[in-house]
A and B are shown apart, each in its own frame.
Chain A
Amino acid sequence: MSESTFVPAFVRRRSFIELDGRARAQSLVDEGTGKELVGPFDRIESPWLPMQGVAPQADDGCVVIKGRIAANPAVVISLEGAFQGGSIGEVSGAKMTAALDLATRDSSAGIPTAAVLLLETGGVRLQEANLGLAAIAEVIASILSLRRYAPVIAVVAGTVGCFGGMSLAAGVSSYVVMTREARLGLNGPEVIEQESGIEEFDASDRALIWAVHGGEQRVGTGLADALVEDSIDEIASAVRRYVLAGKPALHRSEQVRLYRERIAALDTSKQIDPPTLREQWGLRDSQGGAR
């Protein structure tokens, strides 16, 4: 073996997806700057899960780490997909909202503080139903407030994906970073099959799911900004780039006229063909079509 043996990045990479929620958050802040807030030792658990015979978790599946990214003040909020599917309950929702609101307070006082949201979530935690839905409405409100001052960067790495009400949180974020293993949508395939029938969506058709919800297609149609490999280095680098870029001049969810025209132009007499939509909406650049 000579020293010049080529080792592809794919082999050398350190996986981000394999990390748990806490390690994911730590991997994105500048070394030595991250401090977890309202962590597991504060033991703020869901009061609603034990009433239903479900074991709570000491961090309620939400990790908040304040630190610096590319030397800028930042907070990373990470949802743990392995706990209750990353679902939002009273406590995890309150952690998100509280951290976002404090970032807004600092930002409006002249210390721009970016937020990075690691979204691995199916949306509302059904055991906390209406408090989960209320919490998601508040998370959306807090993102919209912060992004007036500083960028909010959503990362959907996989493999849970980002669904339900939390897909709106991604939708109102300044930038969305996805891997090919990630999915983003309001309703998951199983829910659509259940509600509207298998002829509407066959949830066992994996290729269809990736063509509709997958990161490759979301970025390719301009509904997300950057497609990255499942690699700590690539994801951290994309996040740093967006922190340094600051907030965009116009957020995607403000581009109402553009998207309304695009929807008006769709042929809805049959299902929408994902490759055709990609041609119509995508910028067709070699990077997959960031805005």
Chain B
Amino acid sequence: MSEQVGLRGRVWFQALTGNDQPRTGDPGSVLTADAQERGETALFLCVVPNPDSRFPCVRDGQVGLEEAYALATRIREAIDDDRDKPSAEKRSIIAIIDVKSQAYGRREETAGIFLSAAASADAYASARMAGHPVISLIVGHAFSGGFLTHGYQANRILAFDDAGVTIHAMHKEAAARITRRSVPDLEHLGHHIAPMSYDVRDYAKLGTLYRLLHVNNPIEPTESEIVEVRQAIADAIDDARTGTDDLGDRLNSPAAKETRKAGRTVRTLMEEQWVAV
């Protein structure tokens, strides 16, 4: 609990790219680099805390205006560079995710953070629809608007099977307050209602994950663990290249067939009734 959000992102960005500096023109909170992944170029992107940000409400690793537009810029550059290449040669886009949340600030709302978040999601999805494999690797926190902005449009999502990994719509204290429950009550509900849980193994039951990966101590990975994670990313890239360019695979996964029965029924009925009118 005491570990600062965002440290893991930098560790893994460095482990996978050999780099930990922002590019010229980008804020200190956005790390992006083209690096070799199995002999192919891949674009890695990560948002990290920047205590010196000129936007006060992003200094702890939240995703704000500058972060979202920097991500969108780098992804769109990759799309443009690879525009004329056949799909099999388009570079993979790999989001490393350890984000606390979106920025909760008045400056951000005034200047339309909703559009910046949309622009980043748009860039990720456009890359996916253009044939780039888009892979997300969740190494720490993936919360709410931060995750929607950075990573949730991926073809394949990998996450560490670790107590420090939390994927959720809202942090516990706020969710408890808004749904008028105590934090222990909320945790108790999570034990038998999978979508409410803060445990990544319960998240895996929803069917949106491609694979859970085990790393003993994600803040200090060993060489062999880094090799294993690289292999998992390579597998995800291969799998994405053989799959569809939309998010349909998520609803058709074995776990989703168990957990998302209602959503799947909606799809079947909607199609039957759509063609009938």
Contacts and interface: CB of A to CB of B under 8 A. Distances in A.
B120 to A, nearest CB: 9
Contacts of A9: none
Interface in B105-153: 105-119, 121-123, 125-126, 129, 144-145, 147-149, 152-153
Contacts of A169: 118
Determine which residue in B66, B174, B266, B274 has the highest number of CB atoms from chain A within 10 A of its CB, and name it.
B266
A37 B277 contact: yes
A162 B148 CA distance: 16
B83 to A, nearest CB: 14
Contacts of A93: 263
B121 to A, nearest CB: 5
Nearest to B267: A98
Given A140-B125, A144-B129, A194-B177, A272 B111 contact: yes
A90 interface: yes
Contacts of B116: 259, 263
Contacts of B203: 130
Interface string A115-133: 0000000001011111111
B129 to A, nearest CB: 7
Interface stretch (A14-22, A40-48, A226-234, A235-243): A40-48
Contacts of B165: none
A179 B92 CA distance: 42
Contact of B148 (A91, A136, A142, A255): A136
Contacts of A2: none
Contacts of B148: 133, 136-137, 140, 165, 168
SS of B interface (majority): helix
A137 B107 CA distance: 25
Contacts of B208: 134
Contact of B193 (A48, A196, A213, A252): A48
Given A94-B263, A196-B104, A260-B69, A144 B126 contact: yes
Contacts of B65: 263
A145 B169 contact: no
Interface string A21-62: 000000000000001011000101111100110000000000
- The range of chain B's interface size is 35 or more
Determine which residue in A94, A126, A134, A252 has the highest number of CB atoms from chain B within 10 A of its CB, and name it.
A134
Given A129-B169, A186-B108, A256 B69 contact: yes
A160 to B, nearest CB: 15
Given A140-B121, A140-B153, A186-B117, A277 B111 contact: yes
A259 B145 contact: no
Contact of A131 (B129, B145, B206): B206
Nearest to A169: B118
What 6 A-B pairs have minimum CB-CB distances, sorted nearest first?
A: A171-B118, A167-B114, A94-B263, A98-B270, A195-B104, A94-B266
Interface of B: 54-57, 65-66, 69-70, 72-73, 76, 102, 104-119, 121-123, 125-126, 129, 144-145, 147-149, 152-153, 167-170, 174-175, 177-179, 189, 192-197, 203, 206, 208, 246-247, 250-251, 259-267, 269-271, 273-274, 277
29 contacts: A35-B277, A38-B266, A45-B262, A93-B263, A124-B169, A126-B175, A128-B196, A129-B170, A130-B203, A132-B169, A133-B147, A134-B206, A137-B152, A137-B153, A138-B247, A140-B118, A185-B113, A186-B102, A186-B114, A187-B108, A195-B104, A196-B104, A196-B105, A200-B105, A221-B112, A252-B115, A259-B115, A264-B66, A271-B106
